[in-house]
Amino acid sequence: MVFGQGKEGAAPEPVIYFRPGLLIAVTLITILVVGLGSLWKTLALRAGGRTVAESLDGQLLSPGSGDIAERRLLNVVEEMAIASGTPVPPVYVMQEEMGINAFAAGFGPDDAVIGVTRGCMEKLTRDQLQGVIAHEFSHILNGDMRLNIRLMGILHGILVIGLIGGVLLRVGSYSSMSRRRSKDNGGAKIALVGLAIFIIGYVGFFFGKLIKAAVSRQREYLADASAVQFTRNPDGIAGALKAIGGYAGHGTLQSSQAESCSHMFFSHGKKKSFIEFNSLATHPPLHDRIQRIDPSFDGSFPEIDEDHSGVGDSEKSVGFAGSKKRSRSVSPPQPKAAAVTPEQLTASIGTIDPSRLSYARELVAGLPEALRDAAREPYSARALVYALLLDTDHEVRSKQLDHLAVSAEEGMHAATQELQQVLSQVGRSARLPLADLAMPALRQLAEERGVAHCGADGKTGETLVKTVLAPMFAARGLKVHAWQGYNMLGNRDGEVLRDPNHAAAKIQHKDDVLRGILGADSGHHSKVRIDYVPSLGDWKTAMDFIHFEGFLGARMSLQFTWAGCDSALAAPLVFDLVRLAHLSAERGEGGVMEHTACFFKAPLSGGSHDFHDQHLRLLAYAASCQR
């Protein structure tokens, strides 16, 4: 408080600079503006990775593409997805971007997309491309994508303060110029207020960028190390980084959105300005990244010119699956029993075992060409799924085909029969990977035709209980240290899932549920084992042990056993989904049926795995249908 000059003969009037009420009001308004700006940006990104890819002018790559470079890219992504047990993500290519770069975006594995520049797709060798994709899958598996999108939302909210200040500054300056001959200085005051808000907003944005850059740099080091662990080929990712250093365009993108998405890219996605220093860099220097992978690196980069192509002559001549000759066998490789044990598999959740990656590559290469092509083309992918669903019993299969001939589109019956004959020649182990490979094409078809679609892997037993119990632990602040699960299956599911390579996707989905509710960084130990017990028939049993910590560090545990009839649990779920899909069709709705999340381990809508939250979304949808 200071004293100003008062009227003649009067005591000076105090001038109060600190006004708690004003401070509180300004603080609340600032929080409100930042919150609303962040909320708007987060809602704009609600569709997940697709929104980010399209904002960068990415074009969805057709699963049936015949271009050699595109086909090679799709193969690498498919192999990585099969090896990691995650859904095959849609792939977007930024066709006009010749810089060597890539990104992964989304809220989780179920809505993730992979984006690559044309330069990345064409100028890298297969091993280098695999290193880049492995790096991006590390971001998918470690939960980095959700953090990246949250950072985009928060930074946009802070930026809004600066944008408002800029608008006030321009309005005030214009008003002041138009009234410069009058004594009214209201415009100048507005301009000064705008300038102050502008400075405050951009100072906040500056420090926000510092935090974003620091977080991003550490995650990049981790993803580089994970890529080496996944592929067991340090030369792959190191070679990709060296290629970026040796190419004139480096990893630079021309998109106007490159700045806001800079922390998502494989390497620096924008040119470094003259005022930018290392603390604002979202990626570590190329030299440092390479030396961590290849200590012998001497700092020299290979020269990569505009005409350079990473697609080898052998790949052009023998096909797209890899540089080795395509297997003539119509059966995919059968993994050795000792190659991957259930214990090794469950211990590697959130990672990609090199043996599974090798298996996935051989499996994709060994599939009959007719099945591979069908899985990647939207129309044929439907016939492939129909063929996968045909019963082994001749009488039942005939009834299924008769129904298909009457109800399906023209040509679908014949296509299904043709693919069924090819399927009869492959082992049962190829069926689940084929269904996974067909998902991107089926989703593309559904989106093109505006057809409602839902998710993958129904939630009927152990995972259903997890999505009910886990929120209770989180809500009460009970720290879960371990959640161990043991499953015994007796039907065809058990027969297929006893192979650890096929169980990977289901176990990944089960673990994603816990990570999504308890937090990816909660540090809890989570394992699930699946065994085949033929005598159980259509029944399944799950036994779970939860070790948790309560008040004053007291360690406690909860155990439950779930025994249920698989068909009796799944049938009502299927009936409900059919009715809901029919209702959506009658209402003219298309796209992802977000209200069906409670039915799936891997809902396409993403979002919370909390069953209560998911069920409320279903009830809200039902209420909206009655209005």
Q: What DSSP line would sit under 342-403, residue for residue? A: HHHHHHTTTS--HHHHHHHHHHHHHS-HHHHHHHHSHHHHHHHHHHHH--SSHHHHHHHHHH
Kindly state the tokens that stand for 604. Answer: 């396409």
**Single-letter amino acid, residue 597:** A
Strands (E), 34-80: 59-60
For the chain, the first-to-last Cα distance in angstroms comes to 60
By annotation, the residues acting in catalysis are 136
Single out the residue of 563, 525, 569 nearest to residue 545, CA to CA: 525
User: Residue for token digits 């290629």?
Assistant: 243
Rounded CA separation 117/72 (Å): 14
Q: Do 542 and 569 touch, CB atoms closer than 8 A?
A: no
> Pairing between strand 455-458 and 600-603?
antiparallel
Other Cβ atoms less than 10 A from the Cβ of 368: the count is 20
Q: Do 282 and 293 touch, CB atoms closer than 8 A?
A: no
Helix axes of 462-475 and 500-518: crossing angle, nearest 10 degrees: 30
Residue 240 burial (10 A CB sphere; 0-12, 13-18, 19+) = buried
Strands (E), 419-508: 452-453, 455-458, 479-489
Q: Do 530 and 489 touch, CB atoms closer than 8 A?
A: yes
**Single-letter amino acid, residue 135:** H
Rounded CA separation 99/104 (Å): 16
